[in-house]
Amino acid sequence: MLLSNPTQNNTLKFLVFAALAIFLITQDFKKQVPIINTALAIITYPIKYMVDLPFTMTHMGQEFFMEHQQLSKKNEELEKIIAIYAARDQNYRSISAQNKRLQKLLNISNIKQNRYTTSNILTIETNRAKQVVTIDKGSDDQLFDGQVALAGNGIYGQIINTSAKQSIVVQLSDTNHTIPVYNQRTGDSALAVGTGQTNEVELTNTDHRRVHINDLYLSSADGEIFPRDFLVAKVKEKRYDEDINSQIPIILATTATDYNRARELLLIWQVKNSEITTTE
């Protein structure tokens, strides 16, 4: 019977135990890998975050500025659109306001027999010797000396001097101005002469006995300068001049135009047809 070698037995046992140990270590390591990976991820995350931070901030900054530029561009476009519509709205309002003023100025039945344009008063010069205004249209707008100006519901005066861009208009109350008129109630003719007092004319060359307080005097078109039937003045007073012991009363009338309030005039051209034409 052969006896086993003790050295061989020990070697065999060592190999068996070594293989078993390696197997157990391998199995245990597989279980520990997820834990190790998690720990490493936690440990390295701040480092990775700090490394990526400049790139992340740069990217975010680029996106922010791109969005800001896009928003700024859109905002500028919207502001332009708003400005355009605001200008259009203001233009419509201006046209609407001008139409209303024209309707007021055109509140005279026979205006349809004339061509017309509007003009604004620039300066006013009124004193005892002179009562004139300067308006913002002239010969470039086809205005001419002697042309009639209206305001409110009556005659304002006449152009006495024109330049290319401006004109001077004399008021009815100027002492150097006279306009032929007639009494609406009686039909009697008269002359309305400026007294030098604002909103006042004197009625002359008429039968004073037929003149009553509050009588209305209209333009008669005598001389073919003024259009007919435009309101000129309303009688306010009949008085005698005691200094000269006159038997003929002074007849004073208030002009239809309130010169203290008029700021826009209507200049007219008399035409034969009934079509209304405006000039810009």
* CATH number of the domain that residue 240 is part of: 2.40.10.340
Confidence (pLDDT) at 26:
65
Assess whether 166 and 91 both reside in one domain.
no
Find the domain containing 184 and state its range: 111-270
Residues 98 and 128 in one domain: no
Residues 164 and 178 in one domain: yes
pLDDT at 274: 44
pLDDT score, position 273? 45
Looking at the structure, do residues 85 and 69 belong to the same domain, yes or no?
yes
pLDDT at 235: 97
- Predicted pLDDT of residue 109: 46
Pair 229, 115 in one domain:
yes
Q: Is 175 inside a domain boundary?
A: yes
Taking the CB of residue 206, how many other CB atoms lie within 10 A of it? 19
Looking at the structure, tell me whether residues 35 and 74 fall in a common domain: yes
Supply the pTM of this predicted model: 0.60
**Cβ proximity of 188 and 199 under 8 Å:** no
Residues 54 and 126 in one domain: no
**Predicted pLDDT of residue 56:** 73
For residue 276, is it within any domain?
A: no
Give the per-residue pLDDT at 24.
59
> Residue 218 has what pLDDT?
93
Q: Which residues are 115's β-sheet partners?
A: 269
How many C-beta atoms lie closer than 10 Å to residue 28's C-beta?
9
At residue 173, the pLDDT reads: 95
Give the C-alpha separation, 163 to 135, whole Å. 10
Please give the chain's pLDDT, 280 residues, in tens. Answer: 444 556 666 677 667 666 666 665 665 555 555 666 676 667 666 776 676 667 677 777 777 777 777 888 888 788 767 766 765 665 566 566 666 666 665 555 455 556 788 899 999 998 888 899 999 999 999 999 999 999 877 899 999 999 999 999 999 999 999 999 999 999 999 999 999 999 999 999 999 999 999 999 999 877 778 888 889 999 999 988 776 667 789 999 999 999 999 899 989 887 654 444 444 4
Domain stop point among 68, 85, 105: 105
Question: Do 148 and 158 contact (CB within 8 A), yes or no?
Answer: yes
Tokens of 162: 């024109």
Pairing assessment for the beta strands 264-270 and 148-151 based on DSSP bridges: antiparallel
Residue 214's pLDDT is 96
Distance between CA 215 and CA 211 in Å, rounded? Answer: 7
Degrees, nearest 5: CA angle 59-65-67: 100
**97 and 24 fall within a common domain:** yes
Number of domains in the chain: 2
